[in-house]
Amino acid sequence: MKKIAIVGAGVAGLAAAYDLTRAGYAVTIFEAAPAVGGLAAGFKSERWDWHLEHFYHHWFESDHDILNLIAEIGEADNVIFPRPVTSLYYQDKIYPFDSPLRMLTFPQLSLPAKFRFGLAGLYLRLTTNWQTLEKETAHNWLRRQMGEQAYKVLWEPLLIGKFGDYYQDVNMAWFWARIHKRSTRLGYFRGGFQAFLNALTAKVRVQGAEIRLNTAITAIHPQAGGSFQIQSGLSVSMNGKDRQHSSPDIFDQVLTTTSPQLLSRLVPVLPKDYLASLNELKSMGAVVIALALKHQLTKQHYWINIPKEEKFPFLALVEHTNFIDRQHYDNDHILYLGDYLLPNHEYFTLSKDEILARFLPSLTRINPKFDASWVKESWLFRAKYAQPVPLINHSRNIPTLETPIPGLYWASMSQVYPWDRGTNYAVEIGRRAARLLMSNQQLRKTKAPNFQPVI
**pLDDT tens, residue by residue, 401-429:** 999 999 999 999 999 999 988 999 999 99
Please give the residue range of the domain that contains residue 436: 3-51+191-281+398-446
User: Do both 156 and 21 map to the same domain?
Assistant: no
Give the residue from 158, 180, 202 where a domain finishes: 180
Task: Please give the pLDDT value at position 453.
Answer: 34
User: Buried b vs exposed e over 152-175: b needs ≥16 C-beta within 10 Å?
Assistant: ebbbbbbbbbbbbebbebbbbbbb
Instruction: Examine the domain organization and report whether 173 and 40 are in the same domain.
Output: no
Q: Domain check: are 20 and 161 in the same one?
A: no
CA 138/CA 420 separation, integer angstroms: 14
What does the buried/exposed string (b/e) look like for 54-81 if buried means 16 or more CB atoms within 10 Å of the residue's CB? bbbbbbbeebebbbebbeeeebeeebee
Q: What angle do CA 169, 314, 362 make, to 5 degrees?
A: 145
Q: Are residues 225 and 269 in the same domain?
A: yes
Q: Are residues 236 and 200 in the same domain?
A: yes
Asked whether residue 151 falls in the same domain as residue 216, the answer is no
Let me know: does 413 contact 426? Beta carbons within 8 Å.
Answer: yes
CATH number of 113's domain: 1.10.3110
Cα of 330 vs its chain's centroid, Å = 27
Integer Cα distance of 455 and 453 in angstroms: 6
In a domain, 42, yes or no: yes
- Look at residue 167 and tell me if it is in a domain: yes
Whether 210 and 275 map to the same domain: the answer is yes
pLDDT score of 440:
85
Q: Are 386 and 259 in contact (CB under 8 A)?
A: no
What residue ranges of the chain have pLDDT lower than 50? Answer: 235-245, 446-455
Q: Within this chain, do residues 9 and 158 fall inside the same structural domain, yes or no?
A: no
CATH number of the CATH domain containing 429: 3.50.50.60
pLDDT of residue 452: 39
Please name the residue ranges forming H helices in 253-351: 260-266, 272-280
Amino acid in position 287: V
Asked if 257 and 403 sit in the same domain, the reply is yes
Same domain, 422 and 277: yes
Strand pairing category for 301-305 and 316-319: antiparallel
**pLDDT at 1 (0 to 100):** 75
The two counts, helices (H) then strands (E), for the chain are: 15, 20
Taking every pair of C-alpha atoms in the chain, what is the biggest distance, in angstroms?
Answer: 74
Asked if residue 77 is part of any domain, the answer here is: no
State the pLDDT at residue 454.
33
Q: Which residues contact 136 (CB under 8 A, 6 or more apart)?
A: 171, 172, 392
Q: Evaluate whether 421 touches 388 at the Cβ level (below 8 Å).
A: yes
d(C-alpha 366, C-alpha 238), whole Å: 50
CB within 8 Å of 84: residues ≥ 6 apart: 186, 302, 303, 322, 323
Segment 149-154 long-range contacts (CB within 8 Å, at least 24 positions apart): 149/109, 149/110, 149/113, 150/109, 150/113, 150/114, 150/116, 150/117, 153/90, 153/108, 153/109, 154/88, 154/109, 154/117
Structural domain total, the chain: 2
How does pLDDT run across 374-404, given as a tens digit for each residue? 999 999 999 999 999 999 999 998 999 999 9
Same domain, 245 and 103: no
Report the 10 Å Cβ neighbour count for 294.
Answer: 12
Q: Are residues 167 and 196 in the same domain?
A: no
Which helix (DSSP H) or strand (DSSP E) does residue 386 occupy? Answer: strand 375-389
